[in-house]
Structure 1
Amino acid sequence: MVLLLPQNKMTRPTLLFMAFLLSGQASLDAQAPANLDLLELRRGVYLERPSFEPYSGPVVSMWDGENIRERGTLVQGRWDGVREIFYLDGQLAVKEEYDRGELHGPFESYFRHGSPSDRGTYVNGRLDGPYESYWIRQLAERGSWLEGRECGEWVRFFPSSSYGLRVESTVAYPACSLRND
């Protein structure tokens, strides 16, 4: 796109103003992250000091000057989008998704050495859908959740003497269909 402007004293300021307009407003992602540790947490809402207004934008919390402890985005002081929590050595511990302060979407947690611990999905703050739990790098439990309750068949695995997996127990919960209770 070529802009033809008259050559006068207003050309440079006009160009700067038009560049600003064309670039759009800064999004939350373009904003420098705030230090989560400097925000005030009250009743699940992160507030800016000294105004005590809910904070919106990216946040980060550090273990030390180099290692991230936690990062994500707050909207009106509540988690929104992906939130990540890390071990002191920088290894990912938890990755979860939020929608307006409520867990909503896939989550994964990991042991210190990086292998998976748990995987599942939240819908409106409650576990919902397939779920897996691991122990010593092997599947330990598999089942499903419906609106925060275990449902269907759950299978728990325990290691055998040959380091393979064997089924130790199967538990049947009510079917994974919508409940009206």
Structure 2
Amino acid sequence: MKKLFKSIALATVASGALLSSAAMSAEQKIAVVNFQEVMGKIPQTAAIRQKLEAEFKDQQAELAQLEKDIKYYQEKKTRDSSLMNEKQIEELDKKIADMYQSYQTKGKALQQQAGTRQNEETNKIIALVRQAIDSIAAKGKYDLVIEQKAVVFSKPDASITDQVVEKVSKL
């Protein structure tokens, strides 16, 4: 019996809390922002992409050359294996295997370095976007700014995405 009263009391308190939070949300000013759209439209994103491509251009060129060399030696083996003795074929297989191992090692290292650098640069942009959102929210007296993905429906005038894009683009 005590458990029943506790359950009823707990349910009453919980529903009261929900009702009071619903009443409070009616008074709040809420905005939404489409973060992906912001990241896609601001010029800083393209600048970072170009910067990273330039930074890793030499390593990518080295990998591309290694890939061409591997293909060349594989084709050579296919084409000339009937003219080669076993030792030459084994040497060529070893050379291809060594090149492939080098290709994989360098590829993984490049991927990790590029990923780390991209995260660093993206975090800088995210900080700018957050700063712009905070500024717009303070100026517009918004109580809450929510990522548009988390919202099922919002009025078109609730979106501050264009304002954020404009503000970050000026930075």
Q: 1 or 2, which has the higher helix percentage?
A: 2
Higher RCO, 1 vs 2 (CA within 8 Å, ≥6 residues apart):
2
Q: Which has the larger radius of gyration?
A: 2
TM-score (norm 2): 0.27
Q: 1 or 2, which has the higher strand percentage?
A: 1
TM-score (norm 1): 0.26
